[in-house]
């Protein structure tokens, strides 16, 4: 039996990455792999993991580094020394846990956990593997994270080809980086006995419902969708409504914009939802107006519901959404093109249905949970035997 330690701090809003790692660890071959989850803060996913009967261990991480966003890191010598000291202290605590549990493979989830686990793995001579769900670009912190992963990880699972290319250094990409697309359980999305009680307050007959699902962060591009919706509404499209599913640090800014622009009857915030399947059943079109995105799990979930998707031409979105077949791909931050795409799908129900059907078939061929788990297990075995 191969023991795999999934390490995560759990301090952020739960998103596609957390749902993907949960699906992976709960669908591993139970006769070959034994997952253990080591975490710092309880959240929705941790609670689900515990309900599944997976062994969990809670360990302390200093609040000064727990859940710290990359753009919040202070790049002065005193702060960097302080961060390093606190990280080493956490690494020592984690090392004791991993050594006592005789872990075969370490799989850190978030960036902080990757740094801590990379340091621990050296002292234990353990194998360590991670997923990369970030497009690491040109900032100092992003360059550091890229080099650190390439140096300390035995394998890096990129969630898209765009994600893999972000690891290119001097024109070359390390053989450590391998692409495994996110996968979803299509059967789960096709169940008809889903709870519908939460739908009544937001269900509109004869309205065109646009959806956006994601953490409230600048990179998710909510504001571009909101501006496009205002242009459409002001142009006489009174049957337009938008359901906004999620939460995050830009919440106050987005709420204020909607109120100041008198769009609060059109753009409706429904909050964070543990299960978005019921909400996807309400909407007509899903939008992903991100300005940065490694690979959007929510696009697959929408396609599993046979929904057309409008997405930005960034990162892995065009790998998930085929322009003109399963949805419409537009330039990022281009409100005019977003208006045109929404207009096109709003007034052409046959096109929406055809794109939705094509999207479901693409999911069935390329993005199943079974395929995702199989490819990940293969990488686990390769790393352990190398």
pLDDT digits (tens, 9 = 90+) for 339-359: 999 999 999 999 999 999 999
Burial class (CB in 10 A: 0-12, 13-18, 19+), 377: middle
Both tokens assigned to 379: 């990488």
316 CB neighbour count, 10 Å cutoff: 25
Domain with CATH 3.40.50.2000 in the chain: 2-183+369-385, 186-366
Angle at 210 between CA 205 and CA 216, to 5 degrees: 135
Name residue, tokens 């956990």: 113
Q: What is the pLDDT of residue 11?
A: 66
CATH number of 2-183+369-385: 3.40.50.2000
Q: What is the pLDDT of residue 373?
A: 96
Pairing of strands 177-179, 105-108: unpaired
Strand partners, 131: 157
Q: What is the pLDDT of residue 200?
A: 41
Q: What is the pLDDT of residue 316?
A: 94
Q: Rounded to an integer, what distance in angstroms lies between the CA atom of residue 37 and that of residue 286?
A: 33
pLDDT digits (tens, 9 = 90+) for 121-151: 988 889 999 999 888 777 788 888 899 999 9
Tell whether pTM > 0.75: yes
Domain 186-366 coded CATH 3.40.50.2000: yes
The answer to whether the CB of 268 falls within 8 A of the CB of 244 is: yes
10-residue mean pLDDT profile of the chain (386 residues): values are 91 77 93 94 89 93 74 74 85 93 94 91 92 82 89 95 90 93 85 46 75 93 98 94 93 97 94 85 94 92 95 96 97 97 95 96 94 96 92
Q: Rounded to an integer, what distance in angstroms lies between the CA atom of residue 296 and that of residue 316?
A: 7
Q: Rounded to an integer, what distance in angstroms lies between the CA atom of residue 66 and that of residue 6?
A: 17
Q: Rounded to an integer, what distance in angstroms lies between the CA atom of residue 111 and that of residue 286?
A: 29
């Amino acid at each position: 039996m191969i023991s795999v330690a999934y390490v995560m701090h759990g301090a952020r809003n739960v998103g596609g990455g957390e749902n993907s790692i949960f699906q992976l660890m709960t669908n591993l071959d139970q006769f070959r792999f034994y997952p253990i989850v080591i975490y710092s803060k309880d959240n929705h996913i941790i609670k689900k993991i515990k309900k599944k009967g997976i062994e969990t261990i809670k360990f302390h991480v200093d609040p000064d580094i727990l859940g710290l966003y990359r753009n919040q890191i202070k790049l002065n010598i005193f702060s960097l020394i302080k961060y390093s000291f606190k990280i080493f202290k956490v690494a020592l605590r984690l090392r004791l846990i991993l050594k006592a549990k005789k872990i075969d493979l370490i799989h850190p989830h978030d960036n902080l956990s990757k740094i801590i686990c990379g340091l621990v793995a050296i002292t234990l001579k353990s194998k360590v593997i991670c997923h990369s769900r970030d497009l690491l670009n040109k900032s100092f912190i992003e360059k550091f994270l890229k080099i650190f992963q390439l140096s300390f990880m035995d394998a890096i699972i990129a969630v898209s080809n765009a994600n893999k290319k972000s690891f290119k250094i001097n024109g070359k990409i390390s053989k450590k980086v391998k692409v495994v697309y996110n996968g979803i359980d299509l059967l789960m999305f096709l169940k008809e006995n889903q709870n519908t009680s939460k739908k009544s307050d937001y269900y509109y007959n004869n309205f065109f419902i646009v959806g956006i699902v994601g953490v409230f962060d600048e990179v998710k591009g909510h504001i571009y969708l909101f501006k496009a919706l205002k242009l459409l509404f002001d142009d006489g499209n009174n049957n337009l409504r938008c359901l906004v599913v999620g939460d995050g640090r830009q919440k106050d800014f987005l709420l204020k914009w909607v109120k100041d622009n008198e769009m609060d009857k059109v753009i409706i915030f429904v909050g964070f939802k543990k299960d978005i399947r019921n909400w996807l059943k309400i909407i007509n079109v899903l939008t992903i107006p991100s300005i940065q995105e490694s690979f959007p799990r929510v696009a697959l979930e929408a396609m599993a519901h046979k929904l057309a998707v409008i997405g930005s031409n960034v990162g892995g979105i065009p790998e998930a959404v085929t322009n003109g077949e399963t949805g419409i791909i537009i330039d990022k931050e281009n409100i005019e093109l977003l208006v045109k795409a929404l207009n096109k799908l709003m007034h052409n129900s046959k096109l929406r249905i055809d794109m939705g059907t094509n999207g479901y078939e693409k999911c069935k061929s390329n993005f199943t949970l079974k395929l995702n788990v199989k490819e990940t297990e293969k990488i686990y075995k390769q790393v352990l035997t190398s």
